[in-house]
Structure 1
Amino acid sequence: MRLCTAFVATLFATTAALPLRAEDATLSEEAGTAPAPAPSPKAFTTGVAKGRDLLDTAISASVLDDHDLAQLSVSSIAGIMQNIPGIRSETSDIDGFSAITIRGLPLAAEGSKFLQLQEDGLPVLEFGDIQFAGIDQFLRADLTLSQVQAIRGGSASTFASNSPGGLINFISKTGETAGGLMQVSSGVGHDLKRIDFAYGAPLGDGWRFHAGGFFRTGEGPRDIGFNGFEGGQIKANLTREFERGYIRLYGKYLDDRQPNYGTLPVTIRGTDADPEIGFLPGYDIREQGYLSPLTRSYAEVDRNNRPTVLDAGNGLAARVAAIGLEAQFEIAGFTVTNRFRFSDISGEYNDNVPFVAAPAPFFAGFGGPGARLTYAAGPQSGQPITDARLLALSARIHADLESLDNATNDLRATRVWDVGEGKLTTTAGVYNSSQDIRMFWNFTSTLQDLAGGGRNAPVNLATAAGVPLTDAGTLAYGFAVGLPFTIYHNRYDVTYDILAPYGSVNYQIGKLAIGASIRWDRGDVQGQVFSSNFGGGRVGVAPIDVNGNGQISLPERTVPILPLSQPAPVDYEYDYLSYSAGVNYRFTDSFSAFARYSRGGRASAENAIGTETLNPVTGRPRDPGVQVSIVKQAEAGVKFRRDGLSAFLTGFWASTDERNFQINANAAGQAQVVPVNRTYSAKGLEFEGEWREGPFALVVGATWTDAAIDRDEIDPAFDGNTPRHIPDFAFFARPEVALDAVSFGAVINGTTSSYAQDTNQLRQPGYVLVSPFVQYRPAEGVTVALNAFNVFDELAVVAIQAPTIPPSGLANAQVMNGRTVTASLRYAF
């Protein structure tokens, strides 16, 4: 992988001004007493040229500190983001298989296409919607996290690449204050144990450090029959302060896996406008997983067409080894800042999606008259299935994320000039990065039952004459019905090199501040893609003894293979311009107003070089329009803060073009992949407020959104429809009472209904989740806590695959966990 050429600059340059550190605001909590009052306002540093008080900036932004994070009954990155206004975050409280968007921009696929996630000011991955590799899969929240800063719209598009919708920055503690934490936690009523630690301190002579991490293990809140969660991370940084700046070294090692709580079958009755969603007998998907020890391993072929055995128990696996250098110095009146990081990233994506769920006789029909179904493993292995119990034809998805390595460098210089009676702040910078995408996709069709409780078993099918039609439950190596065997059996080996110079100016005179910024992104994409679906004589299937039993079974006659000697080249460039301009007026110390207009771009990753989009002769996308999506935003807002009360209100308008591929379902509820070529728009209001008085505190946020598909170039019938999964209204609230020895409160998240698909037929029900917490401090430094996510066991539907109620009354849905209680013991020292 080619490292960033600006690495040399890190030896003398710096990063942005020191961010707000929540450690200073939580010392009293760590000492075992009631939390301190809210800290005085400090600088917001994410996605801006220079850290400033939010009332002096023309942006819409939010901050969650470690006191806020301790109240949340979720640990996933996407779960945390549900508590930031303007963000739609679809998750089952796992890190990965999430869909995240902002300000009504479309959720055409998984991941976070228009929203960039950063760790300590640099992107975790350059692209947020790499298929089967969401950014949040490679990021974890633990006690090393100081705060989360989020900027919506605004200058995000000009101070980071591929971030036209906004930026969310997860900022680590750096040891300004001596102290540490040790915490053990355990699920109550479910098996998940975790230990966290963190410690930091000044070392003298300008040195300080911070280190911490976590380890967890257990089955998790849903029954799968084995430890789905296993692993952890460790992070550390070392800072040397000088009279005119600092240098910081930091490192991170993450090796963690977790189960994939994807879409599972539910029953749907009633009407599209008012559906009644229920569960199959004994299969409450809030508490049940789809994988089990009996379906965990299965035979397949690898990226080199060799037989292998896949372990789906690896679930969403992430391995990250990162090292970075951060520095800041004052040089000749300029604040020169630089961040550099190299990350060695790999992992796996494993999913088991019920493609068709039906009574056993339906699947017996695949084998003709008199065909027989038998169990392929487990205590009932070999026993016939003669009743009408439910079985499922599943699409098993495996993605080997061989390398998502990236190297990033951000160098900038800022200076404040006296101009007339005001201050002119100028910034010039250059960002460059190199992002690998080396991965292999494999799809397999299998039969299994729906026993639940971690006991799901594979099922074999044979003809009446006893001729086997399956291998240990595998019906086809590839897709069994409806799609070509070889579809999505692909291997990518591509590198994206990005260069982005940028600059900004801001002039502040008295109460008025006017600013503008600009960025030009240029990308160079090189590599190759292996897939038989490009044609040109490429062989797509071959007979292979996959299970190694010395015979070629029916499924083994047509095993998808890669044309290893005939890759399609990838060789193209793209560029786009982003700009932003805003004005802020601070009427009084407690009240200000702002307005801003922005234009930002977002380059496509492997979506632009798939078998449907890449020209295998030229190495360029067939349609140049698929390379970049442009987002335009206008926003205006008011901000108020006095004593213990703050209130921020922002009105926004956003629009984008989108050329992508969307996974949805046909009218029968069966999954399908369809192309999308549309323009979208959304307008709405964001509100965030906080009130503190003595021991009482209340934080609230709400978003109203009116989104539309303005134009569909493929099917005009969608013109004017509301994009899927975008509710009209969503909100959160965090009331808290903090006494000397005890604190208690709740986190409340709610949303109105939204359309399941862009056809605007079936409505996904809204929900309100109440997650109370209580923290008891029996002695100095000791805190005992109980968090109960979704205490009323509400059925919270994240996504329904079907566009309308299918004739079968069955559809796949993704839901949040049911009632999940966690107890913890924390010691601060």
Structure 2
Amino acid sequence: MKRKFYNSSTERVVFQALFLICSIILGGTTATKAQHIIQGKVIDKNKEAIVGASILLKNTPKGTNSSPDGSFRIENLAKGNYKMIVSFVGFLSKEINVSVPLSSNLEVTLYETDKALDEVIVTGVFDQRKRIDASVAISTINTKELRTLAPISAADLLKNIPGVFVNSSVGEVDNQVTVRGTPTVNRVGSDNTSGYFYVSMQEDGLPVSNLTGGGIGPDFYMRADVNLKRVEAVRGGSASITGSDAPGGLFNYVSKEGGSAFEATTILKYGLEGNVNPYFRADVGFGGAINANKDITYYIGGFYRKSDGARYPGFPMNNGGQVRANLVKTFKGGKVKLYAKLLDDRNGTFDFLPYTNFDKPQIASGFKDTDTFVGSGEAQFNYRYFSNGPDVNFNPKNLIHNKEKMIGLQFEKSLENGWRISNNFKYSNKSSQWNMQYVLGVGTTGIDATGLPGMWGNVGANTLFGTPRIGMLSVKNALTGEEYYRSTQTAPGVFSTQLDKLPNNGFIFGMGNALNVNVDEIIDQLEIHKQVGRSNFTLGAYFGRSKVDHESGFAGQYLSTLENRPSPLAVSVTAPNGTVTQVTTPYGYKNNGIFYAHNILTNNRLDVFFGQTSPIGNKFTLDYGFRYNYMQFVGNAEAQSTSQLDFPLLFAGGYDKNPLTEYDNLSLVATTPWSYDRVYKSLSFSSALNYKISDKQAVYVRYSIGQKAPDLSRITQPRTKESSEFLYLEPIKMTQVEVSYKVQTDKFNLFVTPFYSQISNLAESAFANDTIPNTFYNTPPVYSKQRSIGIEFESNVKISTNFNIRGNLTLQDPKSVYKSFWDVGNPGKADDKIIEIKDASIPLTPKVLASITPSYSTERINTSLSWRYVGKSPANSFGAFDMAAYNQLDFTFGYNLTKNINANFNINNVLNTLGVTGWYPPGGFPASTTPENFTKAQRDANPNAVWGARTTQPRAFYLTISYNFN
């Protein structure tokens, strides 16, 4: 039976309300008879149309915005004289005397200014407004600022925005963006399910993808390059109604379009990451008009980049690029844009470093900040998930291979009587194939003493599934053949070690993460706008459909040396009769092809939203809106059983039928496939009142309730039908209140925004060992609630024509109202228990975020020094220790060699300071995977222990040469 889009009284009320609103708009506006009009066009000095310029009649409620061809029209005017104010971001405002009915075909020319203190808002609200009039917390990174930055990733551009915490320590992809204390995750291994959970990353007004989590993150398919014109960043409650499933914020990356004159840009960038590792990138972009009327324009741009990374494993960590293009036809009152993108890129992520001293973290003796433990790229092999399944190749040099083919069509048209319609549609095919090695723990003091319980079958204790194996265990460097370790077990628990010379007295335990995701995706957003005087009404619909083929699993588990660019360790056992069992592949892998799950699913989304902005007198502006969201995950799944070993395969000698090659013997049997149909419905609301104290001061208050459905990882995580059913989670609810005071002049602006947010229905489940070795289960979910109180400061001061200072400060106090989680204890469910603590810390969420950037520019040079500070944060909910505060200093110097040639020199992390952004506790595996369970007592008992830390990236140098053809 087909599921209806609405089937409850609540949903019927929503759609009836929308119908009533449309009727009111239509009825209330069509009855008004036109009197006189003012119409015209807004252009720049090159006769190019200015889209979105604000046109207001002073001391009246009348006003409008220029359409895509620059035209505007103000209706229903009485005869008389008016003062018309025309303004747009980056241009000097103009005040014009007009007479009605004589002013019917005006041409208003605006001239650019270097003043960047006043921006027009096009994201986060349903209409275009200046910051002084806007009731949202928004920041804009403009073209001039983008030219001076050397970001690690697209997300890295957001670091200087108040209230936004960006963790880009892992590299160009798989970053985290959190807003106003929203939860982050301690990224052990590949766990980054909430990297963009509460926010929407967008390109030109549409989400990069409908999906987050499960190996699908927006930054896998988003790159900042020569195509980028500006970035608009909105945080807070208004995003709940203007973005799909995004209660925390919206970040829109706006692309360039061609103009009437030909222009081209070539950018060559060379760098040294980690002080010595080469980086090369080339960007090329060009555009212009293609017909005599110059109403059809194009822009094409892209990049190619190859870099070894700040921590070089022996093969490039980033290799690939993208091409984007658009073709725009402008006509009276509107435009049509055809756009496309082709992305093909390989990206690695950085791993943990061994650290000591919890109070003042420092790299363990013998290691340095450019070391890497990601493992050798030589560890290539084939494996299977099932005995009758196909061979799968694991090749670490392929890293995370991301591809996207995308095409879209955008339409905008201004109609008579204040109507405007727009539609944005895109189709994309995305794929992401992972061949990543992740460190899960460090074993020290020798293999016998540490052991590798659970998944390794206690190889260190010379046992297999609990059965003692008498004989000699040998560990060799898989690349050189040198033997590092040898011990003999003469009786159960009786060892005789003959050789122990592992580098740094330890070894690395890790997993080969193998993920293969393909997504066919359609996204469409329709908006209908009606302007009545200075009031704006918006009615819209958002539709998304993602067809997903999601295969996840692990190629196996591996051992390697504990040193920079580690070598794989090959393990063998020689029985007393001389029989040799190869425990690992020649390159250190064992238990190949485990934790497999396969989902074929469809994600359907339908949002209906409404918004209104209306002035109340000359001082107040009211805006409000709501968004109804219907989301469905429907699909089928199969997996390896987490509780039943494939004993026939085990005793038959595995896939190769050779019991002496033990690495392919272990497998789990397939579960019975199951199906699911998960539906999530939510209604979000946001309203604000802006009071304009004067033309230079204003204050607003906003109240919002937003909801967020679970992401893809919650759907693909379950490995049985039972766990699929009890991991069916309700949407997360996010309540926000914010108040903002704004001051804005030609030389100074200040935005002060106190905020309160509360997030409830936060679910958590544990993945635990069962009583049978190498089998696992999921616990039922438990729920938590948290809140955050804070205040944001954002300011820009123009000291002189050449000298400017921009600064941001966020002070916040994030706390768990109550925190619930599982203590799974010993293997099996018998001793599992729920622990609840109140007023707990929120891990890895800093209480202070600050940045200040003084900059100096003339016609020939521009230079800036950016200082960013991240305050201390709790390591886990128990507050076992605090992650130390850290800061970073970035420097840029640009020089215009000629009118068309510019050179820019950047140093990221000038002082080479490292901040800890993720960690795992001491004790090796499996303790390393449960940092939340580490206590103060454990820390105090072993204060000199070696633990793992993921850090910000070390110093890097970049030289960029740009050539502009105009």
TM-score class normalised by the smaller sequence: 0.7 to 0.9
- Over 3 Å counting, the alpha-carbon distance change for 1:253 and 1:222 in structure 2 is same
Match of 1:32 in 2: none
Q: Does the residue aligned with 1:365 lie in a helix, a strand or coil?
A: helix
- Over 3 Å counting, the alpha-carbon distance change for 1:778 and 1:672 in structure 2 is farther
Structure 1: which amino acid aligns with 2:286? Y
Match of 2:135 in 1: 58
Please state how far the C-alpha of 1:280 moved relative to its aligned partner.
4.9
Q: Per-residue displacement from partner, 1:418-463 (whole Å, max 9, x unpaired)?
A: 3xxxx321111111101233222222211111331x3533332434
Q: 1:120 aligns with which of 204, 214, 221?
A: 204
Q: Does the residue aligned with 1:69 lie in a helix, a strand or coil?
A: helix
Alignment of 1:646 onto 2:646: no
Q: 2:438 aligns with which of 322, 338, 352?
A: 352
Q: Where in structure 2 are the equivalents of 1:110-509 lying within 5 Å? A: 110-128=194-212, 130-176=213-259, 178-188=262-272, 189-204=276-291, 205=293, 206-262=295-351, 264-269=352-357, 272=358, 274-281=359-366, 283-295=367-379, 297-301=380-384, 305-333=389-417, 334-349=419-434, 350-362=436-448, 365-367=460-462, 371-380=472-481, 386-389=500-503, 390-418=505-533, 423-443=534-554, 444-452=556-564, 454=565, 456-463=567-574, 465=576, 466-474=580-588, 476-477=590-591, 488-508=595-615, 509=617
Please state how far the C-alpha of 1:818 moved relative to its aligned partner.
0.8
Please state how far the C-alpha of 1:310 moved relative to its aligned partner.
0.6
Q: How many angstroms apart in 1 are the aligned matches of 2:514 and 2:476? A: 27
Q: Per-residue displacement from partner, 1:154-199 (whole Å, max 9, x unpaired)?
A: 3211111110111111111112364221111112322221111111
Structure 2: which amino acid aligns with 1:450? L
Q: 1:70 aligns with which of 147, 153, 163?
A: 147
Match of 2:843 in 1: 724
Greater mean alpha carbon deviation, residues 284-293 or residues 252-261 = 284-293
Alignment of 1:774 onto 2:869: no
Q: 2:666 aligns with which of 555, 558, 561?
A: 558
Structure 1: which amino acid aligns with 2:474? L
- Where structure 2 has 5 or more consecutive residues not aligned to the other structure, the ranges are 6-50, 53-64, 71-87, 92-111, 186-192, 452-458, 464-469, 486-498, 770-775, 822-833, 922-933
Alignment of 1:37 onto 2:173: no
Structure 1: which amino acid aligns with 2:618? G
Structure 2: which amino acid aligns with 1:558? L
Q: Does the residue aligned with 1:678 lie in a helix, a strand or coil?
A: strand
Please state how far the C-alpha of 1:255 moved relative to its aligned partner.
0.5
Alignment of 1:622 onto 2:726: yes
Higher RCO structure (Cα 8 Å, ≥6 apart) = 1
- Over 3 Å counting, the alpha-carbon distance change for 1:223 and 1:572 in structure 2 is closer
Please state how far the C-alpha of 1:75 moved relative to its aligned partner.
3.3
Q: Per-residue displacement from partner, 1:247-287 (whole Å, max 9, x unpaired)?
A: 0000001101121113x242222xx5x24332352x32444
Match of 2:952 in 1: 816
Q: Does the residue aligned with 1:85 lie in a helix, a strand or coil?
A: coil
- Over 3 Å counting, the alpha-carbon distance change for 1:690 and 1:547 in structure 2 is farther
Please state how far the C-alpha of 1:754 moved relative to its aligned partner.
0.5
Match of 2:163 in 1: 86
Alignment of 1:518 onto 2:626: yes
Q: Per-residue displacement from partner, 1:335-384 (whole Å, max 9, x unpaired)?
A: 10111111111012324223233244445733367744333532346676
Please state how far the C-alpha of 1:513 moved relative to its aligned partner.
0.5
- Over 3 Å counting, the alpha-carbon distance change for 1:552 and 1:159 in structure 2 is farther
Structure 2: which amino acid aligns with 1:59? V
Preserved contact between residue 818 and residue 837 of structure 2 (Cα < 8 Å): yes
Q: Which has the larger radius of gyration?
A: 2
Preserved contact between residue 127 and residue 162 of structure 1 (Cα < 8 Å): no
- Over 3 Å counting, the alpha-carbon distance change for 1:62 and 1:372 in structure 2 is same
- Over 3 Å counting, the alpha-carbon distance change for 1:767 and 1:793 in structure 2 is same
Preserved contact between residue 367 and residue 463 of structure 1 (Cα < 8 Å): no
Structure 2: which amino acid aligns with 1:68? E
- Where structure 1 has 5 or more consecutive residues not aligned to the other structure, the ranges are 6-13, 27-34, 479-484
Q: How many angstroms apart in 1 are the aligned matches of 2:535 and 2:949? A: 53
Q: Per-residue displacement from partner, 1:88-108 (whole Å, max 9, x unpaired)?
A: 111226232322211101114
Q: How many angstroms apart in 2 are the aligned matches of 1:20 and 1:383? A: 73
Please state how far the C-alpha of 1:515 moved relative to its aligned partner.
1.2
Q: Per-residue displacement from partner, 1:381-425 (whole Å, max 9, x unpaired)?
A: 66767314244343324243321332110001011113xxxx321
Structure 1: which amino acid aligns with 2:342? Y
Q: Does the residue aligned with 1:403 lie in a helix, a strand or coil?
A: strand
Preserved contact between residue 541 and residue 561 of structure 1 (Cα < 8 Å): no
Alignment of 1:576 onto 2:682: yes
Q: 1:602 aligns with which of 688, 708, 711?
A: 708
Aligned residue-pair number: 780
Q: How many angstroms apart in 2 are the aligned matches of 1:159 and 1:541? A: 56
Structure 2: which amino acid aligns with 1:374? V
Structure 1: which amino acid aligns with 2:361? E
Q: Percent identity?
A: 21
Q: How many angstroms apart in 2 are the aligned matches of 1:63 and 1:379? A: 54
Preserved contact between residue 305 and residue 562 of structure 1 (Cα < 8 Å): no
- Over 3 Å counting, the alpha-carbon distance change for 1:661 and 1:307 in structure 2 is farther
- Over 3 Å counting, the alpha-carbon distance change for 1:440 and 1:54 in structure 2 is same
Preserved contact between residue 768 and residue 794 of structure 1 (Cα < 8 Å): yes
Preserved contact between residue 287 and residue 817 of structure 1 (Cα < 8 Å): no
